[in-house]
Amino acid sequence: MQQNKINIKNRKAKFQYEILDKYTAGIKLAGTEIKAIREGKAGIAESFCEFHRGELYVINMHVEEYSHATHFNHNPKTERKLLLNKQELRKLEKQINQSGLTIIPLRLFINERGLAKLVIALCKGKKTHDKRETIKDRENKRRLDRIKKEYN
């Protein structure tokens, strides 16, 4: 099977959230959805995960309509079910209900068997002062790299 290098990232997630734990979940997709993802026409920038009746769904994940499909094309912003073990689902639901954490998708990729997978993270929202500190650290690192480059 041909190796697809699909790797769609949520770049804002590490800045806006403190990541506590990561999981890799499968996604239940329609035929035209997986074809659009294999073309790289998907986005997870503003998406999040919620529980409905004990099952985990990704909300607000955008998968563009497949260009070669007929009138049987999918809805771009529909809820998509995530596939995890029962123990993982129970653990996540318990942590979310107790401590007010959230689940954010970090990365969408195609594995070696050709299946779409989503790396999700249990996250805690950062405060404004934490975000400012992150920006300062990033700028200091850039400044140091410039100085090192001048002397080398």
Give the tens place of pLDDT for each residue, 69-79: 666 777 777 88
Confidence band (pLDDT; 50, 70, 90) for 1?
very low
Segments of the chain assigned E as strands: 7-9, 17-27, 42-43, 48-52, 55-59, 62-63, 80-83, 102-110, 116-125
pLDDT value, residue 32: 83
Please state, rounded to an integer, the average pLDDT across all residues of the chain. Answer: 87
Confidence band (pLDDT; 50, 70, 90) for 3?
low
> Which structural domains are found in the chain, ordered by start?
7-126 (2.40.280.10)
Give the tens place of pLDDT for each residue, 44-70: 988 999 999 889 999 998 888 877 766
pLDDT value, residue 71: 67
